[in-house]
Amino acid sequence: MTANNGRVRVGLVAGGLGAYWPQFPDLLPQLRRSAERVSERMGELGADVVDVGFISDAQEGAAAAEKLRVADCDLIVGFLTTYMTATMLVPIAQRSGAPVLLINLQPTESMDHATFDTGQWLAYCGACPLPEMANAFLRCGIPFRSVSGYVEDERAWAKIGRWVRAAGVRAALRRGRHGLMGHLYPGMLDVSTDLTLVPANFGGHMEVLEFDDLRVRVEKVTDAEAEAKKKEAAEIFELADSVNDEDFSWAARVAVGLDRLVADFELDSLAYYHRGLDGEVHERLGAGVILGASLLTARGVPAAGEYELRTSLAMLIMDRLGAGGSFTELQALDFERGHVEMGHDGPAHLAISDAKPLLRGLGVYHGKRGWGVSVEFDVKHGPVTAFGLRQGRDGRFAFVVSEGEVVDGPLLQIGNTTSRVDFGCDPGEWTDAWSATGISHHWALGTGHRLADLRALADLMEVELIHVGA
């Protein structure tokens, strides 16, 4: 979550050199109009804007710095309307504790050189202080980024929007509560994650849960609640003939219990696995979570099986970028068609299905205990991004990203999500390059090409990004 309502909180300060105002009386009103328009457009990006107004000297900059410190913003935007000194913005960047974006947006695309006087030119002079800010910020150890353009420049606003979205995702991670329920799938060393590394790399809180936390909630589910969940699922899914009512009813009951678990612990994501034995209740719970976990994922609380904490975080990032993000691994390579087949059994992001998702009944889950219903679908055809989190030997996380396209082709009908992805190169070469990054065998597959958004997020979080391209 960001701020207190799920929206990103952007602190905005505009400024210029106060010495100009008595010299050129028409300049400040023009710059204020530009600042008002920028504030308006920031709001149109879905941000809660904390606008501290226009500053003209270092004293006003210090006062703005205190206001923005108290506001606890997710991103600070400094609007360079004309020349201003670095001392006006450095305290704001130092005290706020938030990433800083400098924007240089002149009034229009170009000056009217034949008619402009000095005062009119100064309204176009926001580029002048940008190198000064860069130098001062560098020497003060303050990371920053910038966007230059003009006030109604859609190209510039697309870049600004990318930084705002990235700040929102960063805030969601910093404030997030991430559940880990059960235990590691035996032998999956790549999946194992030191829990302390999550707050160390991203911030947020780790909530360690037992399957008994789910069990006690499932035991309290009423028949009426389970029937209501079945009705909800029947509207979302196509039900295969293999789905029997007993398994469907159990999955619905577990889904209601999962909803309560997420609400009680205020979870933003969940990773889980439990093996169980001989049909006892914990085995049945572990086998019955796929429906509920998929419904949670579709409404923005990503749930990943096999105790895959880093992938549940990757799914959260993709979801907050509007890409969905479904639990994914390699399934096969189609050298005849040049495609990488990928997907997973278990939970999936229903909102990015290419068609109405299918609920299929399975008598056995490959490699897992139990039986029940499972989700089957193909991710929406078109541009997609594979995105995962790598944990290095030094304990630092890194982003691993590759853009491709989901295309047509034959798919298995075995109760798994499956998508054919064309990465624009030989599927074997792509698989070798992807694996060489040190990614685990799970990741998130989301819609759209998201490399630019993920680069912005990596920059704000000071995380390495590894791009696997054709």
120-174: per-residue pLDDT in tens? Answer: 999 999 999 999 999 999 999 999 999 999 999 999 999 999 999 999 999 999 9
Query: What pTM was estimated for this model as a whole?
Result: 0.94
Over residues 433-456, the mean pLDDT reads 97
Q: What is the distance between the alpha carbons of residues 378 and 381, in angstroms, rounded to a whole number?
A: 8
* Residue 306: predicted pLDDT: 93
Which of these ranges, 99-108, 179-188, 205-214, 358-367, has the smallest mean pLDDT?
358-367
Say yes or no to pLDDT of 444 above 80: yes
- pLDDT score of 364: 72
pLDDT attached to residue 183: 94
Q: What is the mean pLDDT of the segment spanning 218-232?
A: 97
Of 328, 329, 330, 254, the closest CA to residue 296 belongs to 254
2 pLDDT exceeds 60? no
Q: What is the mean pLDDT of residues 276-287?
A: 90
Alpha helices by DSSP H, 237-381: 245-265, 281-287, 290-298, 309-320
269-273 vs 303-304, strand pairing mode: parallel
Q: How far apart are CA 82 and CA 14, in angstroms?
A: 10
Taking domain 176-467, whether its CATH number is 3.30.559 is answered by no
Phi (first) and psi of residue 120, to 5 degrees: -70, -40
Higher pLDDT, 217 or 2: 217
Whole-number Cα distances in Å, 372 to 246, 282, 285, 337 = 9, 14, 10, 33
CA–CA distances in Å: residue 7 to residues 171, 181, 253: 9, 28, 32
| pLDDT over 90 (residue 4) | no
Domain 9-170, classified CATH 3.40.50.10940, yes or no: yes
Average pLDDT in the 110-129 region? Answer: 96
Query: Per-domain residue ranges for the chain?
Result: 9-170, 176-467
* Fold agreement between 9-170 and 176-467: no
| Whole-number Å distance between alpha carbons of 63 and 85 | 16
Instruction: Tell me the average pLDDT across 166-190.
Output: 95
pLDDT at 3 over 70: no
Residue 14, both tokens: 């505009």
Structure tokens at 360: 């299929």
Q: What confidence tens digit (pLDDT) does each residue in 41-88 have?
A: 999 999 999 999 999 999 999 999 999 999 999 999 999 999 999 999
Q: Do 313 and 399 contact (CB within 8 A), yes or no?
A: no
Report the mean per-residue pLDDT for the chain. Answer: 95
Say if residue 368's pLDDT is above 80. Answer: no
Proportion of the chain above pLDDT 90, given as a percent: 92
Separation CA 33–CA 39 (nearest Å):
10
Distance between terminal CA atoms of the chain? 35
Residues 345-373, mean pLDDT to the nearest whole number: 85
Which residue, among 230, 238, 99, has the nearest Cα to 173 in the 3D structure? 99
Q: What is the model's pLDDT at position 1? A: 34
Residue 113 has pLDDT above 90, yes or no: yes
Higher pLDDT, 371 or 53: 53
Q: Which residues pair with 125 in a beta bridge?
A: none
For the chain, give the number of residues.
Answer: 470
Distance CA 353, CA 357 (A): 6
Provide the residue type at 273 as one letter: Y
Residue 379 CB coordination number (10 Å)? 25
Displacement of CA 368 from its chain's centroid (Å): 29
pLDDT for position 5: 54
Q: Of the given ranges (82-86, 120-124, 300-304, 361-365), which has the lowest mean pLDDT?
A: 361-365
Find tokens 């400094």 and name the residue. Answer: 78
